[in-house]
Amino acid sequence: MRKHGLGLLTVLLLMIFFLVAAHSQEEMISVDNSIFPNPERVASVFEHEAHNEAAEIDECNECHHVYEDGVKLEDESSEDMLCSDCHQIEVSDDQPSLMQAFHANCKGCHRSEKKGPVMCGECHRKERGGD
């Protein structure tokens, strides 16, 4: 009985987890900046589905990358991890900080593709913040 209960609870929890994850991905409108203790700017606008559709990105690891020894691994991806799992808030020698990573990932791509927002206030939009 106790075993069954535990199994049921695990299944339930997993269901909730995926539900929340799926739901939140659908509804994602901004980058989660809650890990920053005192953010100076409002969270960056980011509509995941709309972005990927407009940008014609099919591969998760376009953004959710994995680096090893400074080389991006083409067949690995990291969408099951949090950015902050690798990128710390503080700058370290071997890894861009979390803010640097966000900026490099978004703005870096936008600049090289000459598409999408590149100015501070185009992503950190005051009227969307309401924080």
Partner 1 sequence: MHELYGLLTGPLAWAAFFVFIGGSLYRLATMLILVHKKEKFIFTYMSWKYSFRSIFHWIIPFATTNWKKHPVLTIVTFAFHICLFLTPLFLLAHIVLWDEAWHISWWSLPDSLADMMTLVVVGACVFYLIRRISLPEVQYVTSASDYVILLIVAAPFVTGFIAYHQWLNYPLFLNLHILSGEIMLVAIPFTRLSHMIFSPFTRAYMGSEFGAVRHAKDW
What are the residues binding partner 1 (CB under 8 A)? 40-41, 91, 99-100, 103-104, 107, 111, 114-115, 118-122, 125-127
Please report how close the Cβ of residue 78 comes to partner 1 at its closest, in angstroms: 22
- H/E stretch holding 68 reads strand 67-68
Please report how close the Cβ of residue 111 comes to partner 1 at its closest, in angstroms: 7
Please report how close the Cβ of residue 108 comes to partner 1 at its closest, in angstroms: 8
- H/E stretch holding 71 reads strand 71-72
| Other Cβ atoms closer than 10 A to 96 | 17
- Among 86, 106, 81, 118, smallest CA distance to 31 is for 106
User: Would you say 81 or 91 has its CB closer to partner 1?
Assistant: 91
User: Would you say 75 or 127 has its CB closer to partner 1?
Assistant: 127
User: Would you say 11 or 120 has its CB closer to partner 1?
Assistant: 120
User: Would you say 75 or 113 has its CB closer to partner 1?
Assistant: 113
Please report how close the Cβ of residue 29 comes to partner 1 at its closest, in angstroms: 17
**Spatial separation of the C-alpha atoms in residues 100 and 94, rounded to whole Å:** 13
Q: How far is CA 29 from CA 43, 81, 91, in A?
A: 10, 19, 27
Q: Which amino acid is at 23?
A: H
